[in-house]
Amino acid sequence: QISPPRLTVASVKTLSSLKLRPTGTRMPSSAKPLSGLKVIELGTLIAGPFASRICAEFGADVVKVESPDGGDPLRKWRKLYEGTSLWWFVQARNKKSLTLNLKHPDGLEILKKLLSEADILIENFRPGVLEKLGLGWDVLHALNPKLVMVRLSGFGQTGPMKDQPGFGAVGESMGGLRYITGFEDRPPVRTGISIGDSIAALWGVIGALMALRHREVNGGAGQVVDVALYEAIFAMMESMVPEFDVFGFIRERTGNIMPGITPSSIHTSADGKHVQIGANGDAIFKRFMLIIGREDLANDPQLASNDGRDSRRDEIYGVIDRWVNSLPLDSVIELLNQADVPASRIFSAEDMFSDPQYLAREMFLQAKLPDGKDFKMPGIVPKLSETPGDCEWVGPQLGEHNTQVLQELGYDASQIAQLRKDGAI
């Protein structure tokens, strides 16, 4: 089990699950905001599992259904420790792992029993896969009228592209993000993480909570939350649509600057380090110019508002570049802080581990890997003042909770042994 630095690990459960006991004000699981919700995850890799991870962190009972043949491929992605991805231990925290062979009738029957009692199903199969298993929405809604079904896919459940495979990278491209990312004289670039999947997961959780509120407050039935990865990105594209529709304006790649909003960019210090400065507020810009000794620009009436500054963008960025390049990064940050100008060094993971703000906000949870080795993982977001989320155990071993989940469904030891012998689990 996992805790912020103020908590201690008191006992060890089986395999990778580590049980925490609070020394401070840790909330019991029953007091978390999603306590009492049953979530079934039929997902792999990023979008679906990230959505259910958020539910698990805030108290939902999440059962992750995996194939007995290796489980979620994320278990083997990126950096491995003792054969298991460190990413897996984070992405699957607080979840129970149940292995089901959905091609076996008994495996399918177990899944139906789970779904008959569930509040939310989260899945990110290609559209049509569940229908081929006999688990389309009409069947599931008849089985459990209160069920909320979150469907995450590349292009949604309808439309001419619905059957095409689509990963986050494709969603980022079709949704418009890749087109505007990078420098104008070079091809588009990607962000360093799978941002399309993660944004889609957040929309999925938002949709699920909306559907639950409708069910519980308005007396409504369960419903489908249909999230397409490209639409999740498209929804974040700010003023792109009206600017094109009204003016025919197509936003292009502009490197590190924020187009139409000046100044906001990345600059290089004398010691070769980088700083993001956002001085695009009118009063902030004036303070910024004063602290760097450019009273002429601080008091220039044309630069008192954003439209005037943006029309002289190259001049302003030249001034800032020269100033930042004349000082070491620490001096730049110190002066900008004195003037209340929003700025930040460009943080690496190494910078984060020693940063006072990260530490004060408990953004690193101290955990243990299955062999007892200590490691840190990201803290919980968002921070709720009365019912905070937390991490009770790291990502489980494949099928770690088979017996527990099946016993809760009413299966006895002999039945579970037979299911295992028959290849259903």
Rounded Cα–Cα distance for residues 32 and 380 (Å): 13
pLDDT score, position 3: 41
Cα–Cα distance between 182 and 187 in angstroms, integer?
A: 7
Q: What is the pLDDT along the chain (425 residues), one digit of tens a residue?
A: 444 433 322 222 333 333 333 323 455 666 899 999 999 999 999 999 999 999 999 999 999 999 999 999 999 999 999 999 999 999 999 999 999 999 999 999 999 999 999 999 999 999 999 999 999 999 999 999 999 999 999 999 999 999 999 999 999 999 999 999 999 999 999 999 999 999 999 999 999 999 999 999 999 999 999 999 999 999 999 999 999 999 999 999 999 998 899 999 999 999 999 999 999 999 999 999 999 999 999 999 999 999 999 999 999 999 999 999 999 999 999 999 999 999 999 999 999 999 999 999 999 999 999 999 999 999 999 999 999 999 999 999 999 999 999 999 999 999 999 999 999 99
pLDDT score recorded for residue 160:
97
Catalytic residue status for 197:
yes
Q: Residue 4: its pLDDT value, please?
A: 40
Q: Which long-range contacts (CB under 8 A, 24 or more apart) does 407-410 make?
A: 409/110, 409/113, 409/114
Sequence length of the chain is 425
Cα angle: 203, vertex 52, 423; to 5 degrees: 135
Residue-level pLDDT at 2: 45
CA end-to-end span of the chain, whole Å? 26
* Cβ atoms 1, 393 nearer than 8 A: yes
The sheet with strand 264-268 has its strands ordered as 264-268, 274-278, 343-345
The three-state DSSP-derived secondary structure of 227-291 is: EEHHHHHHCCCCCHHHHHHHHCCCCCCCCCCCCCCCCEEEEECCCCCEEEEECCCHHHHHHHHHH
Q: Whole-model pTM?
A: 0.89
The pLDDT of residue 23: 29
Tokens coding 352: 């984060």
What does each C-alpha distance from 20 to 92, 122, 141, 308 come to in angstroms? 17, 27, 38, 57
Question: Which of 61, 119, 197, 310 is an active site residue?
Answer: 197
